């Protein structure tokens, strides 16, 4: 079937007017697509629904205009790939989608952690645009990658708080050679080796935790190491509870290592699940099977 290109809200409404929400899969992206995005689409395609991919570099989630201008765009290539993958519809919102829109969402605590700390208003910008998409498209399923783990929690929150009847489907992080997390921004980084070192750092922390040989203060050592060896500027390196990004306590819970850093002026995020249930005992992080 031919891939339908939709450019405004009227076209989206018309294309979906006869469709049952339960049969609509929504895959939001900012374009410059890579295998991480393609994996989301492959997963979405498994249930034979309508697959609607959006490509929209959302200005509301950028607090640095230079970062927005420099965000890599490759629309022709993206459309070719999406057509080859057999995506049913691609929505390319035009400026009017969010022109003069001053209403935004308040998210509370979840938006102030991790990436929300040094990117004020970022998640409110994400949530506002996702809300607009959900109201327009009315999907039954939304597909999201764990690369943006905090974003998944934010989107789950608006789904719950605004009573959307919508299932969240997720995929693990798709990695390239050396374990680097694929990202649209990676092409702006000349020294790819630095990206590998960021992933190595997460793996080394995980090994120490699994061996029950990790103290929370060791995070400083790993952070210093990345900075002193010139790999990157670290925005944060934290281990938090997966369900709500709370600090770890003596109560066993699933947790994850999160990092955000800056390599050659490019924002990089990554995370690694510990798979095991962890708890804090004194300053030490313990695992329980």
Residues that are catalytic: 37
- Whose Cβ is closer to ligand AMP: residue 49's or residue 184's? 184
- Beta pairing, strands 24-29 & 50-55: parallel
* Host H or E run for residue 269: strand 266-281
Decide if residue 174 touches ligand AMP (CB under 6 A). yes
- Whose Cβ is closer to ligand AMP: residue 57's or residue 216's? 57
What torsion, rounded to 10 degrees, do the Cα atoms 261, 263, 267, 271 define?
-40
Q: How far is it between the farthest Cα atoms of the chain?
A: 60
Report the alpha-carbon distance of residue 134 to residue 125 in Å, rounded. 14
Q: Which residue's structure tokens are 């697959």?
A: 51
- Beta pairing, strands 233-241 & 253-263: antiparallel
Kindly tell me which residue out of 147, 197, 206, 280 binds ligand AMP, with binding defined by CB under 6 A. Answer: 147
Strand-pairing partners, residue 169, are: 143
Decide if residue 68 touches ligand AMP (CB under 6 A). no
Stretch that binds ligand AMP, among 139-147, 240-248, 261-269, 281-289 (CB under 6 A): 139-147
* Residues in 178-217 that interact with ligand AMP by CB under 6 A: 181-184
In the bound complex, what is the minimum distance in angstroms from residue 163's beta carbon to ligand AMP? 22
CB-CB contact of 271 with 202 (8 Å): yes
Q: Which residue's structure tokens are 């290109």?
A: 5
- Whose Cβ is closer to ligand AMP: residue 33's or residue 209's? 33
Stretch that binds ligand AMP, among 15-23, 103-111, 168-176, 245-253 (CB under 6 A): 168-176
Q: Give me the residue whose beta carbon is nearest to ligand AMP.
A: 145
Kindly tell me which residue out of 6, 16, 26, 37 binds ligand AMP, with binding defined by CB under 6 A. Answer: 37
Q: Binders of ligand AMP: how many residues, by CB under 6 A?
A: 16
**3-state SS assignment for residue 255:** strand
Q: What burial letters (b/e) apply to 6-28, b meaning 16+ CB within 10 Å?
A: beebeebeebbeebeeeebbbbb
Number of H helices, E strands in the chain: 9, 11
Stretch that binds ligand AMP, among 28-36, 132-140, 205-213, 245-253 (CB under 6 A): 28-36
Decide if residue 155 touches ligand AMP (CB under 6 A). no
- Whose Cβ is closer to ligand AMP: residue 88's or residue 186's? 186
Report the alpha-carbon distance of residue 50 to residue 36 in Å, rounded. 20
- Whose Cβ is closer to ligand AMP: residue 30's or residue 68's? 30
Report the alpha-carbon distance of residue 242 to residue 197 in Å, rounded. 24
Stretch that binds ligand AMP, among 71-79, 157-165, 173-181, 240-248 (CB under 6 A): 173-181
Kindly tell me which residue out of 78, 124, 148, 223 binds ligand AMP, with binding defined by CB under 6 A. Answer: 148
What are the residues binding ligand AMP (CB under 6 A)? 29-30, 36-37, 40, 144-145, 147-148, 171, 173-174, 181-184
């Amino acid at each position: 079937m031919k891939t339908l290109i939709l450019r405004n809200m009227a076209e989206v409404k018309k294309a979906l007017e006869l469709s049952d929400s339960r049969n609509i899969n929504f895959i939001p992206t900012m374009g410059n697509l890579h295998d991480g995005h393609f994996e989301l689409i492959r997963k979405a395609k498994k249930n034979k629904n309508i697959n609607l991919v959006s490509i929209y570099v959302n200005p509301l989630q950028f607090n640095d205009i230079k970062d927005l201008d420099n965000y890599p765009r490759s629309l022709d290539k993206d459309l070719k790939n999406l057509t080859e993958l057999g995506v049913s519809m691609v929505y390319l919102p035009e400026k009017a989608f969010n022109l003069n829109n001053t209403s935004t969402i308040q998210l509370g605590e979840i938006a102030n952690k991790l990436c929300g700390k040094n990117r004020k208003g970022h998640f409110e910008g994400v949530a506002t645009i996702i809300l607009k998409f959900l109201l327009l498209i009315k999907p039954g399923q939304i597909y999201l990658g764990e690369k943006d783990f905090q974003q998944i929690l934010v989107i789950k929150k608006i789904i719950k708080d605004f009573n959307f009847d919508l299932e969240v489907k997720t995929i693990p992080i798709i990695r390239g050679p050396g374990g680097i997390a694929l990202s649209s921004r990676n092409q702006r980084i000349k020294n790819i080796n630095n990206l590998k070192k960021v992933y190595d750092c997460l793996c080394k922390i995980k090994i120490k935790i699994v061996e029950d040989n990790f103290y929370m203060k060791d995070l400083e050592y790993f952070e210093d190491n990345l900075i002193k060896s010139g790999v990157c500027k670290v925005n944060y390196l934290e281990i938090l509870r997966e369900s709500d990004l709370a600090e770890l306590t003596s109560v066993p819970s699933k947790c994850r290592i999160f990092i955000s850093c800056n390599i050659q002026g490019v924002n990089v995020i990554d995370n690694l699940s510990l798979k095991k249930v962890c708890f804090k005992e004194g300053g030490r992080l313990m695992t329980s099977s």
